[in-house]
């Protein structure tokens, strides 16, 4: 294992210290929990957003803490759900009295632990609502999930629900908007290489030199199948053939596109993927309002990518276009 770390047991704590050192005017770390919080939280009169999950997906989730997105992000061990106590501490730290929305990806551990944290917070008199993201169209049930997995489409939930909260919407309204995003976003990914969890010290799975896995999950969960590496255009057309009919997306629709790298894929290759995404949408008569290309939700050093499409209406478009200022997402 070759990694730029000091101790496999302290990677999360040292990473969070590095995040705060790089962004001292924007975020802070809670003293007794692996939680990154907005520097000025709790923000008076504002519904708070709390998300999180296992570490190893950076910049998710701490990179999205700030104006127009999250108020706190909870970091579990690598690829491991944060504990209920950690999530509870995050809620207490950022709730302003207007309530807190928990944004949870659909993994069994995350669902259970965020639900327990919500119960703890509600017992303290804090209003809590939750939204569960399940945008991955690859498989219906998989390792660690009942139902579809939550992957990079979660970034659109952070952005749009965060904008609604920043504009003063009440908790019920923020949850409604977040649920609307979940209903209108679909994603699918693929992997070229495995990744290595620092504590394990060896790759979590193996792929042959010329083999890829289609539909791979962000923790290395199995996808739909393995096949020989094909040209990028053919891979994108396969992924889009699964994403487009699922909602479905139709001629005349308008979408936001997210081409997301999994940690080990050069930006050059992501833009090559986006070229075909753009061509397919043009062929289908689907307009693109915004495109985001880069690393938004990774899987350590895994090489691969995912594609997410969000169908827009006037409300979602306005909230997507709203300003945001976080360590990993800045939009004016």
* Non-local CB neighbours of 123 within 8 Å, separated by 6+ positions: none
Give the integer Cα–Cα distance in Å for 112 and 228.
37
- Cβ density class 103-142: b for 16+ within 10 Å, e for less: bbbbbebbbebbbebbebbeeeebbbbbbbbbbbbbbeeb
Known catalytic residue at 219 = yes
Give the integer Cα–Cα distance in Å for 50 and 286.
33
Q: Please name every residue paired with 212 in a beta bridge, in sequence order, or none if there are none.
A: 227
Phi, psi of 94 (to 5 degrees): -115, -10
Nearest to 87 by CA among 143, 137, 47, 48: 48
Q: Are strands 211-214 and 185-191 parallel, antiparallel or unpaired?
A: antiparallel
Contact 188, 198 (CB under 8 A): no
Task: Name the H helices within 9-80.
Answer: 11-22
Known catalytic residue at 57 = yes
Give the integer Cα–Cα distance in Å for 87 and 119.
11
Q: Which residue among 61, 158, 184, 219 is the active-site one? A: 219
Q: Which tokens hold the place of 241?
A: 């053939």
Q: Which tokens hold the place of 311?
A: 């169908």
> Annotated active-site positions, please?
57, 219
């Amino acid at each position: 294992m070759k990694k730029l770390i000091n101790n496999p047991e302290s990677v999360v704590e040292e990473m969070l210290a590095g995040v705060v050192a790089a962004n001292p005017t924007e975020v802070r770390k809670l003293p007794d929990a692996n939680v990154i919080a907005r520097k000025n939280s709790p923000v008076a009169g504002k519904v708070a957003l709390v998300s999180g999950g296992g570490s190893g997906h950076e910049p998710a989730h701490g990179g999205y803490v700030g104006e127009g997105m999250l108020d706190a992000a909870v970091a579990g061990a690598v690829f491991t759900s944060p504990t209920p106590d950690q999530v509870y501490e995050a809620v207490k730290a950022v709730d302003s009295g207007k309530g807190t929305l928990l944004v949870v990806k659909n993994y069994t551990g995350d669902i259970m632990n965020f639900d327990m944290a919500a119960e703890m917070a509600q017992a303290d008199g804090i209003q809590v609502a939750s939204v569960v993201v399940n945008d991955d169209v690859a498989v219906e049930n998989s390792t660690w999930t009942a139902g579809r997995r939550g992957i990079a489409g979660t970034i659109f939930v952070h952005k749009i629900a965060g904008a609604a909260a920043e504009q003063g919407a009440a908790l019920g309204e923020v949850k409604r908007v977040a649920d609307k995003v979940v209903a209108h976003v679909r994603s699918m990914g693929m992997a070229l290489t495995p990744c290595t969890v620092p504590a394990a010290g060896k790759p979590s799975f193996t792929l042959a030199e010329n083999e890829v896995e289609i539909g791979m999950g962000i923790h290395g969960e199995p996808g739909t199948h393995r096949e020989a590496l094909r040209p990028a255009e053919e891979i994108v057309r396969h992924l889009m053939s699964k994403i487009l009919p699922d909602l479905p997306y139709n001629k005349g629709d308008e979408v936001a596109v997210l081409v997301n790298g999994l940690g080990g894929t050069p930006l050059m290759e992501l833009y090559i993927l986006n070229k075909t995404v753009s061509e397919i949408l043009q062929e289908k008569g689907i307009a693109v309002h915004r495109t985001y290309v880069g690393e938004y939700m990774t899987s350590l050093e895994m090489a691969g990518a995912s594609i997410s499409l969000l169908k827009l209406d006037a409300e979602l478009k306005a909230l997507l276009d709203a300003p945001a200022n976080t360590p990993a997402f800045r939009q004016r």
